[in-house]
Amino acid sequence: MWVFGYGSLVWKVDFKYERKVVGYIKGYLRRFYQHSIDHRGVPGRPGRVVTLIQSNNPNSKVWGVAYKIRKEDVDQVTQHLDFREKNGYIKRTVTFHPKEALEPFELTLYVATEENESYAGEASIEDIAKQVVTSQGPSGTNKEYVYNLAAAMRELAPDVEDDHLFSLEAAVRRLDPDSKKT
Ligand code: SIN
């Protein structure tokens, strides 16, 4: 089994895998349009985390990481990830395009669609940043989620400009009293 990570699964890997491949999926946009009440926020004061929305451009890309799970670990990893992603995410099968060497292949990802009750939807980068900078939950601060994802994507796919992610990172840093201002 292969699983695609485009959010916390990119940088917080608490499951067993045998291989990791960088690449992208097509036809989606990565957006901080999902509330988190179990990881980066709490009920009543939700944080914001990423989900995928359909793009009008079938060729738009979301870069991330595909993890290959060994057959004997599939049940345990699936149970673990289903629990970890329980706040609104469902599984979907999509085509993954590896950055190099391999042919495209099908894999599973977790997506939070508009129908789930924690769907937050569109908001300005400034408003999302204000929410992020003041939110935290059992897994840690919401700003840590944004900073770690931005740093990981910069390292994994240095030439890829993810405007939404990097503008949000910059907006959160501007509001974050603990962030070094350069
Ligand atoms: C993912 O990382 O692929 C799903 C969204 C998240 O947990 O941040």
- Enumerate the domain spans of the chain: 2-177
Q: What confidence tens digit (pLDDT) does each residue in 25-63 have?
A: 999 999 999 999 999 999 999 999 999 999 999 999 999
Taking residues 110-129, what's their average pLDDT?
97
**Band of residue 72 on the pLDDT scale cut at 50, 70, 90:** very high
Query: Is the separation of the CB atoms in 179 and 150 below 8 Å?
Result: no
Query: Is the separation of the CB atoms in 48 and 35 below 8 Å?
Result: yes
pLDDT score at 179: 86
Ligand 1 center to 97 CA (angstroms):
18
- Considering only CA atoms, give the Rg of the chain: 16
Write the residue with the smallest CA distance to atom 4 of ligand 1.
Answer: 7
Ligand 1 shell residues, CB under 6 Å: 5-9, 49-50, 85, 109-110
Paired tokens of 102: 């391999």
Query: Is the separation of the CB atoms in 30 and 50 below 8 Å?
Result: yes
Q: How far is CA 12 from the centre of its chain?
A: 10
Q: How far is CA 120 from the centre of its chain?
A: 15
pTM of the model: 0.94
Query: Is the separation of the CB atoms in 20 and 66 below 8 Å?
Result: yes
Paired tokens of 109: 């990802």
The overall longest dimension of the chain from CA atoms, in Å, is 48
Ligand 1 center to 175 CA (angstroms):
24
Q: What confidence tens digit (pLDDT) does each residue in 139-176 have?
A: 999 999 999 999 999 999 999 999 999 999 999 999 99
Virtual CA dihedral for 67, 83, 138, 53, nearest 10 degrees? 60
Query: Is the separation of the CB atoms in 105 and 96 below 8 Å?
Result: yes
| 5 closest CA partner among 52, 58, 55, 72 | 52
Ligand 1 pocket test: which of 4, 11, 50 has the largest number of ligand atoms within 8 Å of its C-beta? 50
Angle between helices 142-156 and 125-133 (to 10 degrees): 120
Q: What confidence tens digit (pLDDT) does each residue in 73-89 have?
A: 999 999 999 999 999 99
Q: Does domain 2-177 have CATH number 3.30.450.20?
A: no
Is 85 annotated as catalytic? yes
Ligand 1 pocket test: which of 36, 40, 49 has the largest number of ligand atoms within 8 Å of its C-beta? 49
Q: How far is CA 92 from the centre of its chain?
A: 14
First-to-last CA distance in the chain?
A: 43
CA–CA separation, 54 and 156 (whole Å): 23
Write the residue with the smallest CA distance to atom 3 of ligand 1.
Answer: 5
- Of 72, 85, 106, 161, which is the active-site residue? 85
